[in-house]
Amino acid sequence: MTDTTTPTPTPTPTPEPTTEPTTDAPRPDDDGNPNAEAARYRTRLREAEAERDSIAGRLTGYQRKEAERLASAGLSKASDLWLDGVDVAELLDDDGQVDADKVAAQVA
């Protein structure tokens, strides 16, 4: 007797559904209401603005620390760089990097 078995096909993995909701799909509670859609966009705008402000604040902090590091060669206390009301923007080059020459000019 010959045993003929048919091979069982290997199941293909099904992709997992994403858990993040899509922002473009209408929500069931707004029923296509344009005011609700506009409110969602305003909320997203406020969140993006808050994130931008947070990142800008951190960047300014890093720039201040870099300017103080450069100024520490000529000052006993690096934070004295800011005593004359110098703004960090005055110490940046055209690319937004801290300019060592501008820091040295403030220290001198």
Whether the predicted pLDDT of 31 surpasses 70? no
Encoding tokens for residue 79? 């934070």
Using one digit for the tens of pLDDT, what is the confidence trace for 50-107? Answer: 999 999 999 999 999 999 999 998 888 999 999 989 999 999 999 999 999 999 999 9
Beta bridge partners of 92: 98
- What pLDDT sits at residue 34? 84
- What pLDDT sits at residue 41? 95
Q: How confident is the model at residue 6 (pLDDT cuts 50, 70, 90)?
A: low
Q: How confident is the model at residue 33 (pLDDT cuts 50, 70, 90)?
A: confident
